[in-house]
Structure 1
Amino acid sequence: MATPKTLRTCKQGHKYYKSSDCPTCPICEKMKEPALGFLALLSNPAKNALLHYGIDTIEKLANHTEKEILALHGIGKASLPVFQKALEEAGLRFKSNKTNTNTL
């Protein structure tokens, strides 16, 4: 059974319906400027998850392990091919699990 949608109003005054707990306003999302680079190839949830953690360049993505990135809310396995292709094209790859000391 589907969760009923509730009417919400964002900080900008846009009214929209959502069935999840996600607070993101779809109208505000559409008004954002398009992302550049590899971020432009991602879904909005994946892009927003990375931006929330300050990962806005391919170099910053390479500073994390694949496991760390997959643990972010909004990132799914469908994003991995995009990440891997972008990293490869930049001559980079995800950080190895063995050498990682960073945490998000």
Structure 2
Amino acid sequence: MAKSLISICAVNHVVEKGNFLQGVIAMPARRALGKEKIDSLQKLSDYSEAEIMQLHGFGKNAMEKLKNYMKENNVSFKNN
């Protein structure tokens, strides 16, 4: 039961500005998300993988780490 509560909290939790995904992806990718005002996993799920990859500062490495983190938190990108 606790595992599902963690997932729900992670999806709905909005962290302080600048700390979203800290320790998950590098600063250039976090800045790119910040410029788009993406500061939660919920907002991130409104975008497709292709849309995020177009952001300046995102590359294959950041995307792979981000997808793994999203999978751990039961969140996914929208379908194209």
Matched, 1:72 2:55: yes
Distance 2:18 2:78 in 1: 27
Instruction: Identify unmatched segments of 5+ residues in structure 2.
Output: 1-16
After TM superposition, where is structure 1 displaced by more than 6 Å over at least 4 residues in a row? none
What is residue 48 of structure 1 aligned with on the other side?
31
| SS of equivalent to 2:32 | helix
Counterpart AA for 2:57: G
Choose 1 or 2 for highest CA Rg.
1
Whole-Å separation in 2 of the counterparts to 1:87 and 1:68: 16
Superposed CA RMSD in Å reads: 1.8
Distance 1:61 1:39 in 2: 15
Aligned residues of 2:29 and 2:62 also touching (Cα < 8 A): yes
Aligned pair count? 64
Deviations 1:19-68 (A, max 9, x none): xxxxxxxxxxxxxx8624x2432111101000010111111111100000
Identify the residue that residue 82 of structure 1 maps to in structure 2: 65
TM-score after normalising by structure 2: 0.70
Q: Which amino acid in 2 is paired with 1:40?
A: G
- Report sequence identity in percent: 31
Distance change >3 Å, CA 59–CA 39, structure 1 → 2: farther
> What letter is aligned with 1:78?
N
Mark the runs of 5 or more structure 1 residues left unpaired by the alignment.
Answer: 1-32, 98-104
What is the TM-score with the length of structure 1 in the denominator?
A: 0.55
